[in-house]
Amino acid sequence: MGGVLKDGEWVSEESFANEEGRYDRQPSQFRGWLTADGAPGPDGQEGFKAEADRYHLYVSYACPWAHRTLILRALKGIEEMLPISVTHWLMRDQGWTFHEGPGVIPDPMGHETLHGIYQHADPKVNGKATVPVLWDKKTERIVNNESSEIIRMLTRAFDGLGAKPLDTYPDALRSEIDEVNERVYHTVNNGVYKAGFAEKQKVYEEEVEKLFSSLRWLEDRLEGEDYLVGNTLTEADIRLLTTLLRFDAVYYGHFKCNVTRIADMPNLHRYMLGLARMPEVAGTIHLDHIKGHYYGSHRSINPTGIVPVGPELDFGSAPLPDAGNA
């Protein structure tokens, strides 16, 4: 599944773990920053001015990292300002592609693969060709391909152009949001991958323990609460949600994270359903792409590529308990 760009040349490969049998996620290569006026980003990153229809967002409905950006885009009401392309769910030797299929939205530049967009931006690019990608149509460059940074940009960059007034990274809550994000990223968002792609038993067991330790911590934290931080929707919720939505359908079985289902953790389950039923969020959930991608693409884990029929998941109409009675 997938591959890597080496000096601009695409090389197919299917290796996830290092010599110790641990999964290594590579850092994102493009770290520009979208701002209202084009000023540099918070850490001095190159600034790009927010303008309607200047940028294009490349995503996969299957990918939890890209899913974050789709949720922010919908919550901010900037769908017309920021159009998207959607990859095919199946990732094989060419990585993410725009092959014809239900839900696929082709690349307007005509590239058939996502790595073609990376090569378009930089003919000597190195690294993985991942989603999401925030593309600048004006300069024909990749602004950023790091999901955590893209959602932080989107929460404010388009406010002067008519975006909805939602701030998912408010000043008063930033330190607590950062603290939650740090643990959730390493042990939950990335934790499921560390467990699923582990190639040694000891490594797998270590990562599963870290994952469920954090899930138990989150279960306790959400007792009587609808949100993780400050009783308001923040980026911490969005970052956790996209992993929870995939957990029982994919990570529980496919990645062997089968200690407990989210459905059996009352507070996390209630919390997940409450967020998933927001109209803006509900329209971004595509379980067919999610299951088709993981089970069909990861042949080192699932050699036949058979996609299971179950489990039956209902994010929309199952009874939602009160926070105090979960």
- Rounded distance between C-alpha atoms, residue 86 and residue 67, angstroms: 11
For residue 21, pLDDT beyond 90: no
Which segments are annotated as binding site?
96, 128-131, 146-147
Q: Is the distance from CB of 256 to CB of 250 less than 8 angstroms?
A: no
Residue 319 confidence (pLDDT): 65
**Reported confidence tier of residue 23, pLDDT bands at 50, 70, 90:** confident
Domain 171-325 has CATH 1.20.1050.10: yes
E-strand ranges in the chain read 3-6, 9-12, 33-35, 47-49, 55-59, 84-86, 133-136, 141-144
Domain extent listing, the chain: 3-161, 171-325
Amino acid letter, 268: L
Nearest to 221 by CA among 240, 196, 205, 194: 240
For residue 19, pLDDT beyond 70: no
Give the domain 3-161 fold.
Glutaredoxin (3.40.30)
From the list 55, 58, 61, 63, the catalytic residue is 63
Burial class of residue 180 in the structure, from the number of CB atoms within 10 Å of its CB (0-12 exposed, 13-18 middle, 19+ buried):
buried
- Rounded distance between C-alpha atoms, residue 30 and residue 172, angstroms: 28
Question: Per-residue pLDDT tens for 103-141?
Answer: 999 999 999 999 999 999 999 999 999 999 999 999 999
From the list 23, 58, 193, 252, the catalytic residue is 193
Nearest to 244 by CA among 207, 206, 279, 218: 218
Active site residue 193: yes
Which segments are annotated as binding site for glutathione?
96, 128-131, 146-147
Q: How many CA atoms lie within 13 A of 207 on its CB side?
A: 28
Question: Per-residue pLDDT tens for 156-169?
Answer: 999 999 999 999 99
